[in-house]
Amino acid sequence: MKQTETNHLEKVRAIYDVLHGKKEADLLLKNLNILDVHGETVYQGSLLIYDKRIVALNPDESLIRVKEVFDGKGLYAIPGLIDAHLHFESQLAHPTALAEAMVPCGTTTIFAECLDLLSAAGEDGVRAAQNLFRDYDKLPYRLYAFAPGKKTAAWVTKEVLEMEPVIGLGEFEHFTYSKGDEDDFQKAAWVREKGGFMNGHWGLTALSDMTLNYLPAIGVSNNHDVWNGDDIEKSIRYGFPTQIKFGVGSSEVIKTLLRSIVDRKFPTENFMLCTDNISIERLLKMGHMDWIISLCAEMGIHPIKAIKMATYNTAKSYHMDHLIGSLTPGRFADIVLTDSLSKITPLYVFKDGELIAKDKKMVKNTEIDYSAMVTKGISGLDDLAPEQLDIEPLEISEDGTKAKVYLFDVYGRGHAKFYQEVWVPVKDGKIVPEYDGETYSRLSVIRRYADGKRHVVNGLFKGVFVERGAVATSWPAPIPYFVVVGQESDEMAYCVKEADKYSGACIVTENHTNKSVMPIEIYGMMTNMSVDELTSSASAIDAALEELGNQNEGEPVVNKLLSLFISLHRFRFME
């Protein structure tokens, strides 16, 4: 206690001395157009930085002494951008590779889930968390993390709640909290005792209005589970600071949400912006929070209010507006310089007053070795027979010419469209993969480790199309599963068995030959690759599939396939 008091005494004296020219400040950023998120105005001025924080607005330059001066040349200065909810293991990159793609977009803070990685680690979940968070304070972005609210044993959650930089409990599983699961009760009780935050996953598409009262009633801090204007209205009416998610949604879903905010005049103070899940490729090609803010402005939200949704609103929601979210004295010097407020172009990115990115390239990153988290595969499909991947009709028409089967779609177009039961032709006793004038590939969802009879779900898929060959990928949490897409059961079985040799992988095959392999070997959830290696590997998967007839748009195929597991789990296609 005495040491803490002494340190604080030194700090307040030092700040006084800096402001009176008796001690050097670290940096003066001058000739700026500074965004005031509180007054929603822009003013010309300068920012004085000392000990990682802003200590003065428009300091008297005749009084101060400073080590370094940066001329902003009239650029706009906005707070460092914040992603309010990101599953930062689900985009395949480990934390330093993520930085390489994300920070040049102006993102200096993330509020991050890690539940899938820790679930994949199973009994090793605590050690996995320790390795994941190791040296987190050296990362070129500010990391606030959440212990798993679902998919892990309660004892893992309890131990992770005690770690830095964990600030609360991650999203609940609505299929368990709605049934009064005892582990959920215990997890919520632990975080309430600590005074931490609880992330919401509200289950709007699956639960009754009466059940939806539970999460806000126990003190859940936010909700990111909205898909349309009515969902938004309900979420904010129940008192949730509501996160509008961009990474996993398609452009139709995103624009529906933004159009609802504009048309129905919802006060933007209710909203934060987040990605939930986002691929490295999208970060590199389109951007991160910078792109999201620009889209908000394009859709009719005032640019300053859009910026607040990715800065101050989030900081305030997490009770951290005294640390981040505005360019005011006492806050960390997380600053983005851009030439426009309506179309954010992060020309310079500062964290803690240090330049870390310039012109969409990292100036400084950290090196952290994650090889200790790489795991070996344990095969589980040795007994899988090709005929187990044949589509068994849900129903046959009376005349035997049609069969009812599942038709799956990619997650991003919204849960309502994720799967349908459709009638397709039957010819010579075999299902013809055609519906509404289009030909589709087949999809099989396969439990990796059988417990008695192996769980397999077969149907059609409209997200990836191959004329021949197959593509398979894995998902380890909370129960290990594979998906494989192809036209013939024999090739599909070969492909998925090749993926089964790894702890995690995406593999393309043709004629029982591997055409492209992307190992996902950090607990089957993340790659141990740099950004260049990761994007090259994902592009090789897409190129191999293009040779097999697939015309891909948007996210890489590996990310499209991985996103399937979100809805497969939600709609109980994974046991």
Q: Of 446, 333, 457, 442, which is closest to residue 394 (Cα–Cα)?
A: 457
In angstroms, rounded to a whole number, what is the distance separating the alpha carbons of residues 286 and 92?
A: 17
Q: Counting beta carbons within 10 angstroms of the beta carbon of residue 196, is it exposed (0 to 12), middle (13 to 18) or buried (19 or more)?
A: middle
- pLDDT confidence of residue 570: 80
Query: Residues 417-420: contacts with CB within 8 Å, 24+ apart?
Result: 418/567, 418/571, 419/459, 419/567, 419/571, 419/573
φ, ψ for residue 351 (rounded to 5)? -125, 130
Domain with CATH 3.20.20.140 in the chain: 79-325
CA pair distance 242, 200, nearest whole angstrom? 9
pLDDT for 164-198, tens place per residue? 999 999 998 888 999 999 999 999 999 999 999 99
Give me the pLDDT at residue 207, please. 86
Largest Cα–Cα distance of the chain, in whole Å? 93
**Global pTM exceeds 0.85:** yes
- Cβ atoms of residues 24 and 18 within 8 Å: yes
Q: 82 pairs with which residues across the strands?
A: 109
Q: Which two tokens stand for residue 4?
A: 């803490």
In the predicted model, residues of the chain with pLDDT beneath 50 are 1-4
Give CA torsion, residues 178, 182, 186, 192, to 10 deg. Answer: 30
What class is the 79-325 domain? alpha beta
Q: How far is CA 37 from CA 271, 306, 327, in A?
A: 15, 11, 8
Per-residue burial over 155-190, b if 16 or more Cβ lie within 10 Å, else e, is ebbebbbeeeebbbbbbbbbeebbeebebbeebbeb
| 1-74 fold | Urease, subunit C; domain 1 (2.30.40)
For residues 137 and 104, the answer to whether their CB atoms sit within 8 Å is: no
Query: In this structure, which amino acid lies at residue 484?
Result: V
CA distance 364 to 487: 47
Sequence ranges of the chain with CATH classification 2.30.40.10 = 1-74
* Residue 355 burial by Cβ neighbours in a 10 Å radius (0-12, 13-18, 19+): middle
Say how far apart CA 2 and CA 9 lie, in whole Å. 11
**DSSP string across 502-563:** SSSEEEEEETTEEEEEEE--BTTTBB---HHHHHHHHHHHHHHHHHTT----SS-HHHHHHH
Retrieve residue 311's tokens.
């800065």
What is d(CA 321, CA 310) in angstroms, rounded to the nearest whole number? 12
